[in-house]
Chains A and B, each alone.
Chain A
Amino acid sequence: MPELVINGIPYHAAPQANLLEAIRRAGVDLPTLCYLEGLPPYGACRLCLVEVTPSGSPAPAEPAVVAACAYPVRADLRVETHSVRVVAIRKLMLEFLLARCPTSRVLQDLARAAGLDSPRFATDGQADELCILCGLCVRVCQTAIGAAAIGFAGRGSDRRVAAPFSLQSEACIGCGACAAVCPTGAITIEDVDGQRYLRTWNTVVPLKPCPGCGQPYTPEPLSFLRELGAGIDHLWGFCPACRRKHAAALFTGK
């Protein structure tokens, strides 16, 4: 079991443990934006940076800086989460993100907590940009949902998330997982007149009405699940309120 010395205090970690998880279990909080348990780590936002030195080596003047969320612990390590240097670097990363998305409440809150007043950098792109390119929407759609409807397009400062060619997605199932995991609320989904508008992806998905109340509920593309779901057929397509009523009626025989 590798030994981690975190800010001078020794802990034991499971082999191949995620360094961020180990640090959090040790009671140290680190900000993260692109990390979500259950999805493979990505290492994009650079907010969970820490300094690491292999134990037994002399501590260099400037230890290696790594993103804790994407670092598997394999050997004994010394970890510094709050050295003057690494705190300053994390603050700069936040400053970069705030310059990119100045109106983001989430970033403003993080900035206030970090003692960052206003960025020293001008905002280049759209003033109301909220996407921080963390990749959570892409990863949840690809890995957890399996639709892979959206991905990254463009390179460098042109990078953005979109469905292929920014056209109506053929693969989107309208589940809304992307909006649910987005840390900055950059993805808007609106249900209007029986259609689900995923405006961020230029995509519209029709909704089928609930058999109970008639309100639009199930995204049309999810219909394929009906064939897979043994045992839920009798509840298929019901909205949550009607499902409760319907299931209760079945149970009580009314």
Chain B
Amino acid sequence: MSGRKAAVIDTLLETGLSCLYPDKIKITVGMATCGLAAGAGAVHAAIAQRLKQRSLEAVLTKTGCLGCCQQEPLVDVRLPGAGRVVYTHMTRPRARALVDELARGALPTGGAWTAIDEEDTPLERQARRFPRVFGFEKIPAHTEIPFFARQRRIVLRNCGLIDPTRIEEYVARGGYRALEQVLSAWSPEQVIAAVSASGLRGRGGGGFPTGMKWQVARQTPAGQKYLICNGDEGDPGAYMDRTILESDPHSVVEGMVIGAYAVGASQGYAYVRDEYPLAVERLATAIIQAEQHGLLGKAICGSGFDFKINIVRGAGAFVCGEETALIASLEGGAGEPRPKPPYPAEVGLWGQPTVINNVKTWATIPVILDRGAAWYAGLGAPKNAGTVVFSLVGQVANTGLVEIPLGMRLGELLNEIGGGGIDGRAIKAVQTGGPSGGCLPAELFDLPIRYEDLKEAGSIMGSGGMVVLDESACMVDVARYFLDFTAAESCGKCTACREGNQHMRQILTRIVQGRGEPGDLALLEEIGAAVKASSLCGLGQTSPNPVLSTLRYFRSEYEAHILEKRCPAGVCRLVPEV
């Protein structure tokens, strides 16, 4: 164990603990994109100004996304020695009133949603407990709120709880301990064995066993190997990867350094979509900080191992989330997929063995190495180890980011965590896996969330998008809406996807406009099955899913459009004589 390295982590740890739990009042504003979009920037400025006006000594800081995005802006207040109190929907007037109350030595109960008395992190074996702030006994603890209680936050372990721009806080919650351990005491083969034993499957959507992918790359002889972090999250309404990069970028950096050591890569690229400027900024800061402390770059942790990460921004194509198209883009070409085999782990970036994994997969690695493969394998379900992060959006009460153990029933996620439908309407269907996923009806809500179960039901796990739909949604229109997206994003290289998606789109447009014909449904099924089977890449192989699954489970809505020229949900304007 390098004496120099141990000292670095220890110093960071001490500083980090005093940042997380200072002796002063600490006010934290949620400032990931969700918070900022809701006005957190102005709230932060208002608090800063008021603190100065009242000459109140307090620490004002920022954090990432806690996951309950629709409650943003979130402000949490920590009185010295006590647990936090979380306020929701914060406004500037209320923020100023909050500071005024604090100046009087009190804390307002109005607008307080929950108290966080217990802070556990998967990297520590014991939760830190704090006494409840006096006067807030009636406010539910966050462990009592179903939205939080039923989650298992491992990938999201630090999101909303640390300042993402302070490496000290990441270390204080156990960060970089796994890396230090691995570099001082493990061989690359041991790392790969642990990742394999954990059962971790790629969280970008493919669900391919991560350990196996690393093993292939390790075994392929080559002078240069690469690592890529796929941050091109393109599913509309899905922002899990964005949140992690904005709220806990060091988890990705640490995961990548461990992976590079295991595979033998000396260069890594984080490909982040151009539409995520804050994520790029926070990740860039994390990279600089890690380098400054010898946790990235040359001679990491005093060992002989070198690895650097460069950030590359995308240029606006959904298809670049597909690994071979991403590689083509990194090489300077247009985002066009390549036939597989060979797979990137054998022939990837510039023809070299390349391990490309999703943001969430990288963020999981440090926890697996620290807590152990057996621990991770024990979570979730057989062949579906661990947890998945979902972006729960649409016509559901609690929208935001949630992380649950695999195997949880779909209904539990939607009703207990999601809080059920809105405005008194029942949930009719849920689309899982983004625009290439399938729509599953309420009758299937007993389905366990597992890769194979979702696939058999006609959907996919995907990267974690989960769009909830109620009776006000027309399933034919929903299918058309998603197909519009995938057809527009098709790169156009292969006949199947380029032409097939266009024709399906045209048929669906006719149907929602009242010009559907009886043969249309069989034709959609024929085209959909063929495009799925014969497309060159994952985009075409999954783009028919919304159409095929709605035909399977909501056929009566299609039939009403075609035979009765009627939209049961009352959404489509059917004008037969156009």
Contacts and interface: CB of A to CB of B under 8 A. Distances in A.
Interface in A97-132: 97, 99-100, 120-122, 124, 132
A72 B336 CA distance: 19
Interface of B is mostly: helix
Contact of B503 (A70, A85, A96): A96
| Interface size band for A | 35 or more
A97 B533 contact: no
Contact of A72 (B334, B342, B488, B533): B342
Interface stretch (A155-163, A175-183, A224-232): A155-163
A153 to B, nearest CB: 9
Nearest to B336: A152
Nearest to A96: B499
Interface string B501-541: 11100100000000000000001001100100111100000
B219 to A, nearest CB: 14
B309 interface: no
B534 A49 contact: yes
B146 interface: no
Contacts of A42: 493
B496 A156 contact: no
Nearest to B523: A120
| Interface size band for B | 20 to 34
Contacts of B258: none
A71 B502 CA distance: 27
B106 to A, nearest CB: 59
B499 A99 contact: yes
B110 interface: no
Contacts of A122: 506
B494 interface: yes
A92 B341 contact: no
Contacts of A100: 499
Contacts of B336: 152
Given A65-B533, A65-B534, A96-B499, A71 B341 contact: yes
B341 A72 contact: yes
Nearest to B502: A157
B490 interface: yes
Interface in B295-320: 317
Interface in B410-461: none
B487 interface: yes
B556 interface: no
B339 A43 contact: yes
A82 interface: no
Interface of A: 41-47, 49, 62, 65-67, 70-72, 74, 85, 88-89, 92-93, 96-97, 99-100, 120-122, 124, 132-133, 135, 151-152, 154-159
Interface of B: 317, 334, 336, 339, 341-342, 487-496, 498-503, 506, 523, 526-527, 530, 533-536
Closest 3 CB pairs of A and B: A159-B492, A96-B499, A70-B339
5 contacts: A70-B339, A85-B533, A96-B500, A133-B492, A155-B491
